[in-house]
Amino acid sequence: MAQLDLTQAPADRRHLNRRRIRHTALHILLIVWIIILMLPLIWVISTSFKDRVEFLTNAAALLPRSVSLVNYEYVLSAIRQLPVYLTNSFILAGGTAILQVLLASLAGYAFARMRFRGRDWIFGALLISIFIPRAGGLMALYELMAFLRLRNSLIGLILLFAANIPTAIFIMRQSFLALPQEIEEAALIDGANWFQVFWRIAIPLATSGMIVVATLSFVAVWSDFLIAYTMLDKDALLPIAVGIQRLVIGGGSVYEAALSRLGGQFAAEAANAAMLLFAILPVVAIYALLQKWFMKGLMEGAIKS
Protein backbone atom coordinates (compact mmCIF):
# COMPACT_ATOMS: atom_id res chain seq x y z
CA MET A 1 0.00 0.00 0.00
CA ALA A 2 2.86 2.38 0.79
CA GLN A 3 4.39 1.63 -2.62
CA LEU A 4 1.06 2.47 -4.29
CA ASP A 5 0.97 5.83 -2.54
CA LEU A 6 4.47 6.62 -3.74
CA THR A 7 3.54 5.90 -7.34
CA GLN A 8 0.35 7.97 -7.14
CA ALA A 9 1.99 11.06 -5.60
CA PRO A 10 3.92 12.13 -8.74
CA ALA A 11 0.80 11.63 -10.86
CA ASP A 12 -1.21 13.84 -8.51
CA ARG A 13 1.47 16.53 -8.64
CA ARG A 14 1.52 16.42 -12.43
CA HIS A 15 -2.27 16.72 -12.52
CA LEU A 16 -2.12 19.67 -10.11
CA ASN A 17 0.60 21.36 -12.20
CA ARG A 18 -1.47 20.93 -15.38
CA ARG A 19 -4.46 22.52 -13.68
CA ARG A 20 -2.34 25.45 -12.51
CA ILE A 21 -0.94 25.92 -16.02
CA ARG A 22 -4.45 25.88 -17.52
CA HIS A 23 -5.73 28.37 -14.94
CA THR A 24 -2.74 30.66 -15.47
CA ALA A 25 -3.16 30.55 -19.26
CA LEU A 26 -6.88 31.28 -18.90
CA HIS A 27 -6.20 34.25 -16.63
CA ILE A 28 -3.63 35.63 -19.07
CA LEU A 29 -6.12 35.33 -21.95
CA LEU A 30 -8.81 37.07 -19.92
CA ILE A 31 -6.45 39.90 -18.99
CA VAL A 32 -5.45 40.37 -22.64
CA TRP A 33 -9.11 40.35 -23.68
CA ILE A 34 -10.03 42.91 -21.01
CA ILE A 35 -7.19 45.18 -22.16
CA ILE A 36 -8.42 44.93 -25.76
CA LEU A 37 -11.96 45.83 -24.67
CA MET A 38 -10.65 48.72 -22.58
CA LEU A 39 -8.53 50.25 -25.35
CA PRO A 40 -11.27 52.62 -26.63
CA LEU A 41 -11.94 53.92 -23.12
CA ILE A 42 -8.21 54.29 -22.44
CA TRP A 43 -7.81 56.23 -25.68
CA VAL A 44 -10.72 58.55 -24.81
CA ILE A 45 -9.24 59.25 -21.37
CA SER A 46 -5.79 59.87 -22.86
CA THR A 47 -7.16 62.15 -25.58
CA SER A 48 -9.00 64.28 -23.07
CA PHE A 49 -5.64 65.22 -21.48
CA LYS A 50 -3.99 66.33 -24.75
CA ASP A 51 -3.77 69.95 -25.80
CA ARG A 52 -4.33 71.10 -29.36
CA VAL A 53 -0.71 70.72 -30.52
CA GLU A 54 -0.27 67.21 -29.13
CA PHE A 55 -3.63 66.08 -30.44
CA LEU A 56 -2.73 67.15 -33.97
CA THR A 57 0.73 65.58 -33.81
CA ASN A 58 0.18 62.57 -31.53
CA ALA A 59 -3.53 61.73 -31.79
CA ALA A 60 -3.17 57.94 -31.92
CA ALA A 61 -0.94 57.58 -28.84
CA LEU A 62 -2.48 55.93 -25.81
CA LEU A 63 -0.44 58.04 -23.38
CA PRO A 64 0.02 61.82 -23.69
CA ARG A 65 3.52 63.22 -23.59
CA SER A 66 2.39 65.91 -21.16
CA VAL A 67 -0.87 66.09 -19.23
CA SER A 68 -3.01 69.15 -19.98
CA LEU A 69 -6.29 70.15 -18.34
CA VAL A 70 -7.20 72.72 -20.96
CA ASN A 71 -10.00 70.54 -22.39
CA TYR A 72 -11.62 70.19 -18.99
CA GLU A 73 -11.31 73.94 -18.51
CA TYR A 74 -13.16 74.36 -21.79
CA VAL A 75 -15.87 71.89 -20.76
CA LEU A 76 -16.42 73.37 -17.30
CA SER A 77 -16.21 77.05 -18.22
CA ALA A 78 -17.37 77.34 -21.81
CA ILE A 79 -20.23 74.87 -21.76
CA ARG A 80 -22.62 76.34 -19.21
CA GLN A 81 -25.34 73.84 -20.07
CA LEU A 82 -23.35 70.78 -18.98
CA PRO A 83 -24.57 70.79 -15.33
CA VAL A 84 -28.13 71.17 -16.63
CA TYR A 85 -27.70 68.20 -18.96
CA LEU A 86 -26.25 66.07 -16.15
CA THR A 87 -29.10 67.04 -13.81
CA ASN A 88 -31.69 66.14 -16.44
CA SER A 89 -30.03 62.78 -17.02
CA PHE A 90 -30.04 61.99 -13.30
CA ILE A 91 -33.72 62.95 -13.05
CA LEU A 92 -34.68 60.84 -16.07
CA ALA A 93 -32.54 57.81 -15.21
CA GLY A 94 -33.28 57.85 -11.47
CA GLY A 95 -37.02 58.47 -11.88
CA THR A 96 -37.32 55.73 -14.49
CA ALA A 97 -35.36 53.25 -12.38
CA ILE A 98 -37.53 53.83 -9.29
CA LEU A 99 -40.82 53.64 -11.22
CA GLN A 100 -39.73 50.59 -13.21
CA VAL A 101 -38.59 48.71 -10.09
CA LEU A 102 -41.95 49.38 -8.44
CA LEU A 103 -44.05 48.31 -11.43
CA ALA A 104 -41.86 45.32 -12.32
CA SER A 105 -41.91 44.07 -8.71
CA LEU A 106 -45.71 44.15 -8.58
CA ALA A 107 -46.13 42.49 -11.97
CA GLY A 108 -43.31 40.00 -11.44
CA TYR A 109 -44.76 38.85 -8.11
CA ALA A 110 -48.19 38.40 -9.69
CA PHE A 111 -46.75 36.26 -12.50
CA ALA A 112 -44.63 34.24 -10.06
CA ARG A 113 -47.10 33.53 -7.25
CA MET A 114 -50.69 34.29 -8.29
CA ARG A 115 -52.81 32.09 -10.52
CA PHE A 116 -55.27 33.79 -12.84
CA ARG A 117 -56.76 33.09 -16.24
CA GLY A 118 -54.42 33.80 -19.14
CA ARG A 119 -51.37 34.32 -16.94
CA ASP A 120 -49.00 32.28 -19.09
CA TRP A 121 -50.34 33.77 -22.33
CA ILE A 122 -49.89 37.30 -21.05
CA PHE A 123 -46.39 36.55 -19.84
CA GLY A 124 -45.52 34.96 -23.18
CA ALA A 125 -46.75 38.06 -25.00
CA LEU A 126 -44.54 40.20 -22.76
CA LEU A 127 -41.52 38.06 -23.59
CA ILE A 128 -42.22 38.34 -27.32
CA SER A 129 -42.45 42.14 -27.02
CA ILE A 130 -38.84 42.21 -25.78
CA PHE A 131 -37.68 41.46 -29.32
CA ILE A 132 -39.67 44.31 -30.91
CA PRO A 133 -37.37 47.34 -31.42
CA ARG A 134 -38.81 50.56 -30.04
CA ALA A 135 -37.41 52.52 -32.96
CA GLY A 136 -39.90 50.73 -35.22
CA GLY A 137 -42.81 52.47 -33.49
CA LEU A 138 -41.08 55.79 -32.95
CA MET A 139 -43.54 57.80 -35.05
CA ALA A 140 -46.50 56.25 -33.23
CA LEU A 141 -44.87 57.07 -29.90
CA TYR A 142 -44.29 60.63 -31.07
CA GLU A 143 -47.96 61.04 -32.04
CA LEU A 144 -49.12 59.48 -28.77
CA MET A 145 -46.87 61.69 -26.64
CA ALA A 146 -48.00 64.77 -28.56
CA PHE A 147 -51.67 63.81 -28.17
CA LEU A 148 -51.22 63.32 -24.41
CA ARG A 149 -49.23 66.58 -24.20
CA LEU A 150 -46.28 64.77 -22.67
CA ARG A 151 -43.66 65.94 -25.15
CA ASN A 152 -41.02 68.37 -23.85
CA SER A 153 -41.63 67.06 -20.35
CA LEU A 154 -39.27 65.13 -18.13
CA ILE A 155 -42.22 63.47 -16.39
CA GLY A 156 -43.65 62.39 -19.73
CA LEU A 157 -40.30 60.97 -20.79
CA ILE A 158 -39.96 59.09 -17.48
CA LEU A 159 -43.37 57.50 -18.06
CA LEU A 160 -42.36 56.55 -21.61
CA PHE A 161 -39.08 54.98 -20.51
CA ALA A 162 -40.73 53.18 -17.57
CA ALA A 163 -43.30 51.63 -19.93
CA ASN A 164 -40.50 49.60 -21.53
CA ILE A 165 -40.86 47.02 -18.79
CA PRO A 166 -41.02 43.43 -20.18
CA THR A 167 -37.36 42.65 -19.39
CA ALA A 168 -37.72 44.06 -15.87
CA ILE A 169 -40.85 41.95 -15.26
CA PHE A 170 -39.02 38.84 -16.44
CA ILE A 171 -36.09 39.49 -14.08
CA MET A 172 -38.35 40.13 -11.09
CA ARG A 173 -40.48 37.06 -11.83
CA GLN A 174 -37.35 34.90 -11.85
CA SER A 175 -36.20 36.49 -8.59
CA PHE A 176 -39.51 35.73 -6.86
CA LEU A 177 -39.58 32.17 -8.23
CA ALA A 178 -36.16 31.59 -6.65
CA LEU A 179 -37.52 32.42 -3.17
CA PRO A 180 -38.67 29.57 -0.87
CA GLN A 181 -42.45 29.50 -1.14
CA GLU A 182 -42.86 27.91 2.29
CA ILE A 183 -42.11 31.23 4.03
CA GLU A 184 -44.89 33.00 2.17
CA GLU A 185 -47.32 30.14 2.78
CA ALA A 186 -46.58 30.30 6.51
CA ALA A 187 -47.33 34.04 6.52
CA LEU A 188 -50.62 33.44 4.68
CA ILE A 189 -51.60 30.79 7.24
CA ASP A 190 -50.86 33.30 10.04
CA GLY A 191 -53.43 35.67 8.51
CA ALA A 192 -51.36 37.94 6.24
CA ASN A 193 -52.86 38.95 2.91
CA TRP A 194 -51.09 38.84 -0.46
CA PHE A 195 -49.92 42.45 -0.31
CA GLN A 196 -48.48 42.04 3.21
CA VAL A 197 -46.60 38.93 2.10
CA PHE A 198 -45.32 40.78 -0.95
CA TRP A 199 -44.22 43.91 0.92
CA ARG A 200 -42.85 42.42 4.13
CA ILE A 201 -41.39 39.11 2.96
CA ALA A 202 -40.92 38.92 -0.83
CA ILE A 203 -39.54 42.42 -1.40
CA PRO A 204 -36.75 42.21 1.24
CA LEU A 205 -35.69 38.81 -0.11
CA ALA A 206 -35.70 39.98 -3.74
CA THR A 207 -33.53 43.05 -3.22
CA SER A 208 -30.80 41.75 -5.52
CA GLY A 209 -33.23 41.37 -8.42
CA MET A 210 -34.51 44.90 -7.83
CA ILE A 211 -30.96 46.23 -7.98
CA VAL A 212 -30.44 44.41 -11.30
CA VAL A 213 -33.58 46.02 -12.72
CA ALA A 214 -32.64 49.46 -11.38
CA THR A 215 -29.09 49.24 -12.75
CA LEU A 216 -30.18 48.10 -16.22
CA SER A 217 -32.88 50.76 -16.32
CA PHE A 218 -30.54 53.54 -15.18
CA VAL A 219 -27.86 52.65 -17.73
CA ALA A 220 -30.36 52.30 -20.59
CA VAL A 221 -32.00 55.68 -19.93
CA TRP A 222 -28.70 57.46 -19.28
CA SER A 223 -27.27 56.34 -22.62
CA ASP A 224 -30.47 56.76 -24.64
CA PHE A 225 -30.26 59.16 -27.53
CA LEU A 226 -33.00 58.42 -30.06
CA ILE A 227 -36.07 58.64 -27.81
CA ALA A 228 -34.91 61.75 -25.96
CA TYR A 229 -33.80 63.44 -29.18
CA THR A 230 -37.23 62.83 -30.69
CA MET A 231 -39.37 63.81 -27.72
CA LEU A 232 -37.47 66.86 -26.42
CA ASP A 233 -36.98 70.17 -28.24
CA LYS A 234 -36.15 72.53 -25.36
CA ASP A 235 -32.44 72.85 -24.61
CA ALA A 236 -33.11 73.17 -20.86
CA LEU A 237 -34.63 69.66 -20.79
CA LEU A 238 -32.00 67.75 -22.76
CA PRO A 239 -30.11 64.85 -21.13
CA ILE A 240 -26.36 64.51 -21.41
CA ALA A 241 -26.35 62.18 -24.46
CA VAL A 242 -28.42 64.58 -26.59
CA GLY A 243 -26.88 67.72 -25.11
CA ILE A 244 -23.33 66.69 -26.02
CA GLN A 245 -24.40 65.93 -29.58
CA ARG A 246 -26.10 69.32 -29.88
CA LEU A 247 -22.95 71.04 -28.64
CA VAL A 248 -20.71 69.08 -30.99
CA ILE A 249 -22.86 69.86 -34.03
CA GLY A 250 -24.15 73.34 -33.32
CA GLY A 251 -21.90 74.89 -30.69
CA GLY A 252 -20.11 77.28 -33.01
CA SER A 253 -20.48 80.43 -30.91
CA VAL A 254 -19.49 78.58 -27.75
CA TYR A 255 -16.48 77.12 -29.51
CA GLU A 256 -15.32 80.47 -30.91
CA ALA A 257 -15.67 82.23 -27.55
CA ALA A 258 -13.65 79.55 -25.76
CA LEU A 259 -11.08 79.52 -28.56
CA SER A 260 -10.36 83.21 -28.11
CA ARG A 261 -10.27 83.00 -24.31
CA LEU A 262 -8.06 79.90 -24.05
CA GLY A 263 -5.72 80.96 -26.82
CA GLY A 264 -6.48 78.03 -29.12
CA GLN A 265 -4.87 75.52 -26.75
CA PHE A 266 -7.72 73.01 -26.75
CA ALA A 267 -8.83 70.81 -29.63
CA ALA A 268 -12.51 70.31 -30.36
CA GLU A 269 -12.11 66.53 -30.66
CA ALA A 270 -10.16 66.28 -27.41
CA ALA A 271 -12.76 68.46 -25.68
CA ASN A 272 -15.43 66.08 -26.96
CA ALA A 273 -13.51 63.23 -25.31
CA ALA A 274 -13.59 65.16 -22.03
CA MET A 275 -17.35 65.63 -22.41
CA LEU A 276 -17.78 61.90 -23.05
CA LEU A 277 -15.97 61.16 -19.80
CA PHE A 278 -18.41 63.38 -17.94
CA ALA A 279 -21.22 61.40 -19.58
CA ILE A 280 -19.96 57.88 -18.81
CA LEU A 281 -18.34 58.31 -15.40
CA PRO A 282 -21.64 58.32 -13.42
CA VAL A 283 -22.71 55.06 -15.05
CA VAL A 284 -19.33 53.44 -14.39
CA ALA A 285 -19.39 54.61 -10.77
CA ILE A 286 -22.91 53.28 -10.16
CA TYR A 287 -22.10 49.90 -11.69
CA ALA A 288 -18.89 49.67 -9.65
CA LEU A 289 -20.77 50.39 -6.43
CA LEU A 290 -23.58 47.91 -7.19
CA GLN A 291 -21.52 45.22 -8.92
CA LYS A 292 -21.73 42.75 -6.03
CA TRP A 293 -25.50 43.05 -5.77
CA PHE A 294 -25.88 43.07 -9.55
CA MET A 295 -24.08 39.75 -10.00
CA LYS A 296 -25.90 38.27 -7.00
CA GLY A 297 -29.25 39.22 -8.51
CA LEU A 298 -28.35 37.68 -11.86
CA MET A 299 -27.32 34.43 -10.19
CA GLU A 300 -30.45 34.27 -8.03
CA GLY A 301 -32.65 34.75 -11.08
CA ALA A 302 -30.95 31.84 -12.81
CA ILE A 303 -31.48 29.34 -9.99
CA LYS A 304 -35.09 28.51 -10.83
CA SER A 305 -37.15 29.10 -13.96
- pLDDT value of position 221: 92
- pLDDT value of position 250: 53
Closest CA to 299 of 209, 166, 213: 209
Those residues whose C-beta lies under 8 Å from the C-beta of residue 305, and which sit 6 or more positions away, are 174, 177
CA 224 vs CA 25, 33, 161, 218: distances in Å: 38, 27, 10, 10
What residue ranges of the chain have pLDDT lower than 50?
1-2, 4, 302-305
Neighbouring C-alpha atoms within 13 Å toward the C-beta of 5: 2
- pLDDT value of position 17: 79
Q: For 138-172, b where at least 16 C-beta lie within 10 A, e where not — what string?
A: eeebeeebeeeebbebbebbbbbbbebbbbbbbbb
Contact of 150 with 160, CB cutoff 8 Å = yes
- pLDDT value of position 1: 45
- pLDDT value of position 305: 44
